[in-house]
Amino acid sequence: MTDRNRREQILQAARALFREKGYHATTIRDIADEAGMLSGSLYAHIRTKEDLLFEITDEIADQFLDEMKAVAGRSLPPDALLRQGLAAHLRVVSTHLDAASVFMHEWRGLSPDRRRVIQEKRDAYEQMWAGILEAGAAAGVFRREGLRFARLVVLSVANWSYQWLHPGGVLSAEQLADQLAEVLLSGLLVPPADRADGTA
């Protein structure tokens, strides 16, 4: 097995363990065990435990950014961008559930410097969402009032998804995104004109 493969194996073990037990509750011996070696041997492949955490979070942050950049670059109506942005997010989460959970949960374990790197990528990601919503409002498709709160709602749905998403589910990320986008776009209320009792 190549060094690169071995390292990826270690990373994979760390992702699963950091997600399951948390970064601080996971020991270097847990990771070595899972990778089939002794704890001392791990240091032929890594420098520190924190390096593993950084590599995991930085890599998935880039994936979120790359996917969202691809979506934002399409010239599509705002509601289609919302659907596709949500689908992209859910796709990344469901195909990298361990890493996504670690990204959302364990960044506090990073040193201040590295935490800042991750925070900047997170900010950039949120700004791309803000851009999609702003463009929708500019086009007259999304409501202007409450746009700030709309952003909060969309980001909540995206950021919370790692908590309930199961990669083995019946619905695909795209199908889930469509359903969630429908709720976000149209709201919970039955339009007054359609109500059975005729109230408006």
* Subset of 43-102 contacting its own copies (CB under 8 A): 79, 82
Task: For residue 138, state whether it binds its own copies (rule: CB under 8 A).
Answer: no
Distance CA 167, CA 48 (A): 30
Least distance in Å: CB of 63 to DNA?
A: 25
Compute the distance between CA of residue 84 and CA of residue 68 in angstroms, rounded to an integer. Answer: 9
If one asks whether residue 116 binds its own copies (CB under 8 A), the answer comes out as: no
Instruction: Give yes or no for residue 133 binding its own copies (CB under 8 A).
Output: yes
Using CA atoms, how far apart are residues 76 and 20, in angstroms rounded to an integer?
Answer: 39
CA-to-CA distance for 68 and 59, rounded, in angstroms?
14
Which of 143, 167, 169, 172 forms a contact with its own copies (CB under 8 A)?
143
Identified binder of its own copies from the candidate list 16, 22, 54, 62, rule CB under 8 A: 22
Indicate which single residue of 40, 77, 146, 167 sits in contact with DNA (rule: CB under 7 A).
Answer: 40
Please tell me the distance from the alpha carbon of residue 169 to that of residue 157, in angstroms, as a whole number.
18
Q: Collapsing DSSP states into helix, strand and coil, what is residue 195?
A: coil
CB of 110 within 8 A of CB of 52? no
Q: Is 41 in the site for its own copies (CB under 8 A)?
A: no
Q: How far apart are CA 115 and CA 130, in angstroms?
A: 22
Instruction: Specify the stretch interacting with DNA by CB under 7 A; choose among 32-40, 148-156, 168-176, 180-188.
Output: 32-40
Residue with tokens 């942005």: 85
Q: Which partner in its own copies, DNA, none is near 172 (CB below 5 to 8 A by kind)?
A: none
Q: Which is nearer to DNA, 31 or 150 (CB)?
A: 31
- To its own copies, the closest distance from the beta carbon of 47 in angstroms equals 20
Which CB, 4 or 148, lies closer to DNA?
Answer: 4
Chain position carrying tokens 């909060």:
152
**Residue 6 touching DNA (CB under 7 A):** yes
Buried b (16+ CB within 10 A) or exposed e, 109-136: bbeeebeeebeebbeebbeebeebbbeb
Q: Which stretch binds DNA (CB under 7 A): 42-50, 58-66, 78-86, 149-157?
A: 42-50
Residues contributing to the site for DNA (CB under 7 A): 1, 6, 26-29, 37-41, 43-45, 47-50
